Amino acid sequence: MLGFEWDPPEVHHRWNSASPGRLERCEIAVLDDAVLELRRVYSFALGLLVELPATGNRACDLFRVLRDATARVISLPQAPHADSAIRRPMLHLEVESVIDATASLTECLNRSPSGSTTNCFAVGHAHIDTAWLWPIRETRRKCLRSFSNQLRLMEVFPDYRFLCSQAQQYAWVKEDSPELFAAITSRVAEGRWEAHGAMWVEPDCNCPSGESLVRQIVYGEQFWREHFGEAAPQRMLFLPDTFGFPATLPQIMAQAGLDTFVTNKLTWSTSNIFPHTSFVWKGLDGSRVLAHNTPGQDYNAVNTPKELARGEANHRTKSAAPALWLQPFGYGDGGGGATENLSLIHI
């Protein structure tokens, strides 16, 4: 039986049919970059307004700027007829108005709110299950597509940062596309591509022995060091989608020079609500590492205001530590990563 328990019946039926693939819609379009950027920023601002307390200062400020941006666009003069000589100045005015509306919204969104808010560090991410619902040959193709997408985004958005773990996937890319790997190496050297995670893959931690977990780090760190050197120092064990964290793991991390542990899976318990986001994890031998359970509760987030509000609320109620939290965002499990539609690339 194919499909997940949470999928609707139509999805189960389709995936268990002889031809589950289905193309529902395909279009060719010419996009106006200025209008597209306004749409992205406007949509995010509107979504944020919904999540804010209606009478708060930030909501009132955002509502005012949204109203003004709306007025700028819908009140644009229309050319009386289609003669290009007459329409040209009108089109110029329209572009200016769109750009001004985008700038005012962006400035409002970037304006520092009150000191009671938390600080979210959102970083692009493409979680790729090395072995899950597809053959390994498809995992290799997923890596090529996902990593190529992220390199393109870095060309378009100079401030974009991308986090990617699992040395095995880099090794496959190096073998399958040396040119792509060379481009990744260049971005790692710049500091924009964060090659972190320490282990060879993101392994299950319930079944393997301690020796196996040590070997994951030894081979993983060896690969990072050989190919990226000082540009990718390994301090973090990044296991967003791993099940089971043995009490010996802090000792193994400390012995390997790792001082930070990041996961998302501690929110998946059906019996207990994990009480912390940032905390110190003490191992059986007394080893201590800084641990962070991402409060957004989704390593495949798409950075909607609703998701970010949920992460902030979780962090507020569960952490006495500094008001800092991590949000990996981008399509995952099957890879893909961030796209141009994911909000915090732009804001």
Q: Catalytic site residue 259? A: no
- Per DSSP, 244 falls in state -
Helix, strand, coil distribution of the chain in percent, nearest 5: 45, 15, 40
Number of other residues whose CB lies within 10 A of the CB of residue 113:
11
The tokens describing 154, both together, are: 């870095």
Q: Which of 61, 129, 241, 333 is catalytic?
A: 241
* Contact in structure between 206 and 93 (CB atoms under 8 Å): no
* Contact in structure between 328 and 123 (CB atoms under 8 Å): yes
DSSP string, 139-153: HHHHHHHHHHHHHHH
Distance CA 152, CA 187 (A): 11
DSSP string, 10-24: HHHHHHTSS------
Q: Where in 233-308 does DSSP place strands (E)?
A: 236-239, 260-263, 278-282, 288-293
Amino acid letter, 307: E
Strand order across the 193-195 sheet: 193-195, 162-164, 119-125, 324-329
The tokens describing 261, both together, are: 């542990």
* Contact in structure between 226 and 193 (CB atoms under 8 Å): no
Gyration radius of the chain over CA positions: 23
Active-site residue list? 241
